[in-house]
Amino acid sequence: MKSKKALVVLFLFSLLLAVSCADRPTKAMRKAERRMEQQANQARKDYDKAKSDHYKRQAPKTRKMIREDRRRARRLNRSLRRY
């Protein structure tokens, strides 16, 4: 009788332990996710730098037009926003 209870308790404990360990990602998966995140951050930084360099190469008149377009779009989007 005692051995059956001990066996059931041992089985349930091992099942609980197996389920909790299965949810954790492996070290290789964590490394891969970290590397992908770093690559995404680097790509975003490169894009932002290219965008700002492109803006700096524009003529002053074009820069002014871009700023006015941004303001106009902001105002238009604000007026179209629904609550």
Q: What is the pLDDT of residues 3-59, one digit of tens each?
A: 777 777 777 777 676 666 666 778 889 999 999 999 999 999 999 999 999 999 999
pLDDT at 1: 65
In this prediction the pTM is 0.55
State the pLDDT confidence band at 71, using cuts at 50, 70 and 90: very high
pLDDT at 12: 74
Whole-angstrom distance, CA of residue 46 vs CA of residue 52: 10
